């Protein structure tokens, strides 16, 4: 059953207030089951396409984790040695017309306009985060803003929208957000000597007990702030936990990896 949000899909005043206070907002029931079935097929087609393209890509390892760059796209693999299971693809919209359509969907973009307070919006980046049953690894606590601050001078204006293609539960490693952590700007990373350690938020800067689980049925959207500390546990269930995270910005700015401007049609 689809929730009845306002006709324009804009956020209500209460929703916007809550997003600003906590750094996240969940809207359930935005996409219907039939749409989700189609979208899951689109996702799997995109994953197959990305994986086959990696044969022509540039492979490298960071902290023993395999990454492959193919043009402007990066494909990350699961961390077990020799795993061929795709974990993350970024950016992803170019891989399938169904994804091109999705990133412009009014149900996603209109709330982003409410958050940004602007009529014109463009795409910053988007990624598929795929946690296969029993195999999908977790994401350490981090903010996106320190990662993006070198490529954007408006890092406060890069809201994320997470769309759950599958039910997201504690067991399958749902997204988790540290409540109100977005209010503290860019926080320092860890300095544990690893290559990727600097991307993870110094654990001395927040209380893990402030975590909020973004448990939500398939078809839900989670909006979260670029400064919100977030992460997720591994998938301990037999069920997949597939999602796309779409990040927007005011109109007229180039995308993170492609450097091309991708304005959302008004
Ligand atoms: O998909 C997840 O569980 C975490 C996503 C995330 O941390 C990210 O994409 O930055």
129 — pLDDT class (breaks 50, 70, 90) = very high
Question: What's the CA gap between 212 and 228, in Å, rounded?
Answer: 11
Question: What's the CA gap between 13 and 129, in Å, rounded?
Answer: 30
8 — pLDDT class (breaks 50, 70, 90) = confident
Check residue 263 and report its DSSP letter. B
Tell me: pLDDT of 50 over 80.
Answer: yes
Atom nearest to 129 CA in ligand 1: 1
* Mean pLDDT along residues 43-48: 98
Tell me: pLDDT of 1 over 60.
Answer: no
* 65-70 β-sheet, strand order: 24-27, 221-224, 160-164, 241-250, 121-131, 86-90, 73-77, 65-70, 58-62
Q: What is the reported pTM?
A: 0.96
* The pLDDT value given to residue 4: 55
Mutate to test the pocket of ligand 1, among 161, 200, 245 (most ligand atoms within 8 A of CB): 245
- Crossing angle of the two packed helices 13-22 and 106-116, in degrees rounded to 10: 70
Contact 241, 183 (CB under 8 A): no
Contact 211, 177 (CB under 8 A): yes
CB atoms within 10 A of CB 10: 17
Question: What's the CA gap between 24 and 224, in Å, rounded?
Answer: 4
Tell the burial category of 64 from Cβ atoms under 10 Å away from its Cβ (0-12, 13-18, 19+).
exposed
CA atoms within 13 A on the CB side of 135: 17
* The pLDDT value given to residue 16: 98
Atom nearest to 173 CA in ligand 1: 3
**What residue spans of the chain are helical by DSSP H?**
13-22, 33-53, 97-103, 106-116, 145-148
Tell me: pLDDT of 255 over 60.
Answer: yes
* Mean pLDDT along residues 34-45: 98
Contact 181, 23 (CB under 8 A): yes
* Mean pLDDT along residues 190-199: 93
* Residue located nearest, by CA, to atom 7 of ligand 1: 231
Question: What's the CA gap between 21 and 212, in Å, rounded?
Answer: 14
Interior/surface letters 238-248, b for 16+ CB within 10 angstroms, e for the rest: eebbbbbbbbb
Distance 230 CA to ligand 1 centre (A): 7
Kindly report, residue by residue over 59-105, the tens digit of the pLDDT.
Answer: 999 999 999 999 999 999 999 989 999 999 999 999 999 999 999 99
Atom nearest to 144 CA in ligand 1: 10
* Residue located nearest, by CA, to atom 6 of ligand 1: 231
Beta strands in 115-233 (DSSP E): 121-131, 139-142, 160-164, 175-178, 211-213, 221-224, 230-232
Estimate to the nearest angstrom the gap between the alpha carbon of 151 and the chain centroid.
18
Tell me: pLDDT of 18 over 90.
Answer: yes
* Residue located nearest, by CA, to atom 5 of ligand 1: 231
| Domains detected in the chain | 16-249 (2.60.120.620)
Kindly report, residue by residue over 152-186, the tens digit of the pLDDT.
Answer: 999 999 999 999 999 999 999 999 999 999 999 99
């Amino acid at each position: 059953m689809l929730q009845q949000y306002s006709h324009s899909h804009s956020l209500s005043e209460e929703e916007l207030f809550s997003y600003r206070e906590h750094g996240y907002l969940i809207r359930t029931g935005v996409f219907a089951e039939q749409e989700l079935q189609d979208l899951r097929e689109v996702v799997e087609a995109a994953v197959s396409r990305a994986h086959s393209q990696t044969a022509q890509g540039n492979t490298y390892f960071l902290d023993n984790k395999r990454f492959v760059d193919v043009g402007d796209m990066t494909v990350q693999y699961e961390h077990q040695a020799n795993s061929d299971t795709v974990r993350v693809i970024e950016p992803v919209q170019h891989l399938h017309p169904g994804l091109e359509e999705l990133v412009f969907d009014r149900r996603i973009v209109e709330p982003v306009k409410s958050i940004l307070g602007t009529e014109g919006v463009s795409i910053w980046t988007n990624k598929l985060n795929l946690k296969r049953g029993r195999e999908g690894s977790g994401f350490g606590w981090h903010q996106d803003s320190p990662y993006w601050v070198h490529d954007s001078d408006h890092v406060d204006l890069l809201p994320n929208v997470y769309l759950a293609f599958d039910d997201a539960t504690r067991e399958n490693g749902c997204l988790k957000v540290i409540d109100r952590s977005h209010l503290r700007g860019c926080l320092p990373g860890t300095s544990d000597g690893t290559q990727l350690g600097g991307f993870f938020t110094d654990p001395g800067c927040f209380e893990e007990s402030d975590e909020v689980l973004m448990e939500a049925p398939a078809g839900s959207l989670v909006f979260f702030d670029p400064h919100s500390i977030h992460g997720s546990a591994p998938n301990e269930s037999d069920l997949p936990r597939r999602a796309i995270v779409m990040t927007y910005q005011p109109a007229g700015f180039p995308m993170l990896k492609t450097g091309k401007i991708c304005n959302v049609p008004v």
